[in-house]
Amino acid sequence: MENLDDAGVYKLSDDVALIQTVDFFTPIVDDAYMFGQIAAANALSDVYAMGGRPLTAMNILCFPMKTLGTAILEDILRGGIDKIHEAEVVLIGGHSVDDDELKYGLSVTGIVSPEKLLTNSGARVGDRLILTKPLGTGIINTAIKAGLVSDDLIERVSKSMATLNRTASELMQEIGVHACTDITGFGLLGHAARLAEQSQVSLKLDSELVPCFSEVADFAQQGLCPGGSFRNKDYYKDRIKFADSIPEHMQDILFDAQTSGGLLICLAPDKADLLLNRLKKAGITEAAIIGEVVEMGQQLIVID
Ligand code: CO
Ligand code: CO
Ligand code: CO
């Protein structure tokens, strides 16, 4: 808890530490099967972010039995189970309650070798930063609720959120990296600020290099930002400096609260291109080097 990391870690022996995490939320897409997949990918992600291997999962379900039918319930659980199987994780149980508001997620248990544990505190001056998924899921989900998003974009965003961070995690572990976190509710800048704080460094980001869904700028300009994104901006704005040339809506995108976002990886500069190439070869085509780690300065993050 002290290091504000992605998951709880408990050392069992010199060789093995347990990683435990729990995540659940209300639906973000209309398609129940897709929602189940996204919720599972999101819950598994914290184990991947810490360099671990998830082993078991348990379902957590709050379901309004009186208003929603069992078909929806089955679709959600099927989405979750399919994603869990894809991750080669075993579902060992769960718990459900009757609730007015639908919520679904998982608790996940994984393992890691204690020396290979990746936290928020390992970033070193000179490191490069790689982000593996495009930003904008919070803004686009808000636009979906307003009925403004094309089917094609809904499909692309859903697919991105349902994509496991497993391959990215395995590739970064193969190459060896210094720190990692996944981008979720605090947005890119919120999670990056925590990483900078815990590592006692500052980060320099180039906003033009940050991958975003192509249509997200339009929606952000229309002010379609979720409440969480504004809270992120409010909380961190004093410790983050934007170049004057960066428009307000781009700042909103950088603070946008993500669901099942990508990994933010810190690694030595001579390894950055190698990892980026391997990520792209593995189909993680939106991955990009978005900045670097510098000596701790006045601001946690400076963005050009
Ligand atoms: Co996390
Ligand atoms: Co989490
Ligand atoms: Co029970």
* Structure confidence by residue, pLDDT tens digits, 6-20: 899 999 999 999 999
Distance 293 CA to ligand 2 centre (A): 24
CA 264 from centre of chain: 8
Distance 164 CA to ligand 3 centre (A): 27
First vs last C-alpha separation in the chain: 32
Q: How far is the CA of 12 from the centre of ligand 2 (A)?
A: 22
Pick from 99, 94, 89, 87: which is nearest to 26 by CA?
99
Distance 78 CA to ligand 2 centre (A): 21
Ligand having the closest approach to the CA of 105: 2
Q: Which ligand is nearest to the CA of 118?
A: 1
pTM of the full predicted structure? 0.95
Residues in the chain predicted with pLDDT less than 70, given as ranges, are 1-4
What distance in angstroms lies between residue 203's CA and the mean position of ligand 2's atoms?
Answer: 22
Q: Can you give the pLDDT at residue 4? A: 66
Tokens of 46: 């914290």
- CA of 58, nearest ligand number: 3
Residue 22 CA to ligand 1 center (angstroms) comes to: 10
- Distance (Å) from CA 6 to ligand 2 centroid: 6
Ligand located closest to 262 CA:
1
Give the pLDDT confidence score for residue 9 in this predicted structure: 94
Instruction: State residue 260's pLDDT score.
Output: 97
Whole-number Å distance between alpha carbons of 162 and 42: 8
Give the environment of ion ligand 3: residues with CB less than 5 A: 95
CA geometry: angle at 147 spanning 146 and 151, to 5°? Answer: 140
How much distance in Å is there from the Cα of 185 to the middle of ligand 3?
28
Ligand nearest to the CA of 95: 3
pLDDT of residue 194: 94
Q: What pLDDT score was predicted for residue 266?
A: 98
Tokens of 113: 């070798």
The pLDDT value recorded for residue 37 is: 98
* Residue 67 CA to ligand 1 centre (angstroms): 32
What's the CA gap between 119 and 178, in Å, rounded? 8
Query: What pLDDT, on the 0 to 100 scale, is given for residue 111?
Result: 97
pLDDT at residue 137, as a whole number: 96
Residue 48 CA to ligand 1 center (angstroms) comes to: 9
- Separation in Å, CA 24 to CA 21, 58, 191, 206: 10, 11, 19, 32
Give the CA count within 13 Å in the CB-facing half-sphere of 274.
Answer: 12
Ligand 2 centroid – CA 43 distance (Å) = 6
What structural domains does the chain harbor?
Answer: 8-116 (3.30.1330.10), 128-303 (3.90.650.10)
Query: In this predicted structure, what is the pLDDT of residue 226?
Result: 86
